[in-house]
């Protein structure tokens, strides 16, 4: 069965490719996931379960108040970025891609920039909860970067906003 393929230009520099894909293609792709990716996603979802149970509170999914829309946007960003990250891991090997990008000066600069930003996120965790919580979030943050930071901010949104004296 042939696949329909069509490209739609979004702007002169970017294009999106739409494909008609059957379930057999999805299963074939899923079978190609390397074991490192499976271990990483297992670790992420294990940490997600731990974090949700450890940080659970009744207003975690309450979106009222003056910053309710921003809190909802944070959760939407987390879920959207998580699904896109899973999609990417089905398409390309993360470690091979990082290795290729790291060979370029801008690739290294982008990596350093990312982790400097994550240090700011870890500083927020430290100010918000102290050293123990920061150490708990350190490894997931180093491994998953903004997927971990978005999870922390979404789960603790109300108390972070309160600490910043924005309410």
**Position 7 pLDDT exceeds 70:** no
Is the pLDDT assigned to residue 144 strictly greater than 90?
Answer: yes
pLDDT for the residue 26:
52
Residue pLDDT, tens place only, 81-123: 999 999 888 888 888 888 899 999 999 999 999 999 999 999 9
User: How far, in Å, CA of 146 to CA of 153, rounded?
Assistant: 10
Q: What is the DSSP letter of 104?
A: S
71 within 8 A of 119, measured Cβ to Cβ: no
The predicted structure's pLDDT at residue 16? 37
Residues 71, 136: Cα–Cα separation, whole Å = 23
Residue 28 banded pLDDT, cuts 50, 70, 90:
low
Question: For 39-60, how does the pLDDT look when each residue is reduced to its tens digit (9 = 90+)?
Answer: 889 999 999 999 999 999 989 9
pLDDT score for 38: 84
User: Taking the CB of residue 21, how many other CB atoms lie within 10 A of it?
Assistant: 12
* pLDDT above 50: residue 136: yes
Taking the mean position of all CA atoms in its chain, how far away is CA 137?
A: 14
Report the C-alpha gap between 86 and 38 in whole angstroms: 10
Q: CB 148: neighbour CB atoms within 10 A? A: 25
What confidence score (pLDDT) does residue 68 get? 93
Token representation of residue 99: 């290795």
What is the share, in percent, of the chain residues with pLDDT greater than 90?
Answer: 58
Q: What is the pLDDT of residue 46?
A: 95
């Amino acid at each position: 069965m042939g696949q329909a393929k069509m490209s739609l230009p979004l702007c002169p520099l970017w294009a999106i490719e739409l494909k008609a894909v059957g379930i057999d293609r999805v299963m074939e792709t899923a079978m190609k996931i390397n074991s490192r990716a499976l271990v990483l996603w297992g670790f992420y979802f294990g940490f997600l379960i731990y974090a949700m149970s450890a940080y659970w509170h009744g207003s975690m999914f309450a979106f009222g108040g003056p910053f309710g829309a921003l809190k909802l946007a944070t959760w939407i960003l987390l879920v959207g970025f998580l699904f896109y990250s899973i999609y990417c891991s089905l398409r390309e090997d993360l470690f091979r891609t990082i290795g290729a990008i790291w060979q370029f000066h801008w690739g290294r600069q982008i990596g350093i920039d990312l982790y400097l930003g994550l240090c700011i996120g870890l500083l927020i965790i430290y100010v918000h909860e102290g050293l123990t919580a920061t150490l708990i979030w350190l490894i997931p943050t180093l491994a998953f970067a903004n997927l971990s930071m978005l999870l922390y901010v979404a789960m603790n949104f109300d108390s972070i906003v309160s600490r910043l004296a924005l309410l």
